[in-house]
Amino acid sequence: MKFFIDTANLAQIKEAQDLGVLDGVTTNPSLMAKEGIKGQDNILKHYVDICKIVDGDVSAEVISTDFEGMVREGEALAELHPQIVVKIPMIKDGIKAIKYFSEKGIRTNCTLIFSAGQALLAAKAGATYVSPFIGRLDDVSTDGMILIEDIRIIFDNYGYETQILAASVRHPIHIIQCAKLGADVATCPLSAILALLNHPLTDKGLAQFLADAKK
């Protein structure tokens, strides 16, 4: 399973990259705003800065909601750097834009996926990734993992190459569940990736080994 980091914070991206397990980055307008990145030029420069830190795919989201706007923005984003994947919302014009980009060889990530039907439609349009938001489903008392499982079954039934990019990951259990269900990617906050390291028996065992080594 690939690990993406879900942030626009350059220090956190670098920390995950330095760990040696990072396969890519996802951003969204809220994450960019959280870092105080404003203005088109600064936003585009920030995407390039992210691409310089990581080796893998970097999702950059359009903010237009009409086909022409999404195409214009997406083409500009794709020209920025070969690692850029154009992130498109799951709306009617978004599906048209994904189809357009797919035919032009521009990679896409269809975001805000909350149902298997939406994922199927995005895959049919040729999306490179679909992003089911599991944490936000959990927030409304709906098991996000059932969605991951359903999409995996559907994509495998028909051999869709669209990758399942589990998003809105909140904690390490989400990552483990995604791995068990066959999600291709989990995009996670740094805290969830680092939480995978922790086990009290590891700490206890290491303390004992180090103490014994001094004997």
Active-site annotation, residues? 87
Distances (CA, A) of 74 to 67, 108, 119, 204: 10, 9, 20, 50
**Among residues 157, 208, 149, 207, which one has the least CA distance to residue 180?**
149
Interaction pattern, residues 30-69, with ligand E4P; x per rule: CB under 6 A: ----------------------------------------
Enumerate residues 14-33 that contact ligand E4P by CB under 6 A: 26, 28
Please say which residue, 26 or 83, places its beta carbon nearer to ligand E4P.
26
Shortest distance (Å) from residue 177 CB to ligand E4P: 15
Please say which residue, 60 or 121, places its beta carbon nearer to ligand E4P.
60
Please say which residue, 85 or 116, places its beta carbon nearer to ligand E4P.
85
118-144 in b/e form (b: 16+ CB < 10 A) is bbbbbbebbbbbbbbbbbebbeeeeeb
The count of residues in the chain is 215
Angle at 111 between CA 182 and CA 54, to 5 degrees: 75
188 in helix, strand or coil? strand
Please say which residue, 6 or 23, places its beta carbon nearer to ligand E4P.
6
Enumerate residues 156-195 that contact ligand E4P by CB under 6 A: 167-168, 187
Q: Does 136 bind ligand E4P (CB under 6 A)?
A: yes
Contact segment (CB under 6 A) with ligand E4P among 37-45, 46-54, 68-76, 131-139 equals 131-139
Q: Does 12 bind ligand E4P (CB under 6 A)?
A: no
Distances (CA, A) of 39 to 29, 88, 152, 166: 12, 20, 38, 29
Return residues touching ligand E4P (CB under 6 A): 6, 26, 28, 111, 131, 133, 135-136, 167-168, 187
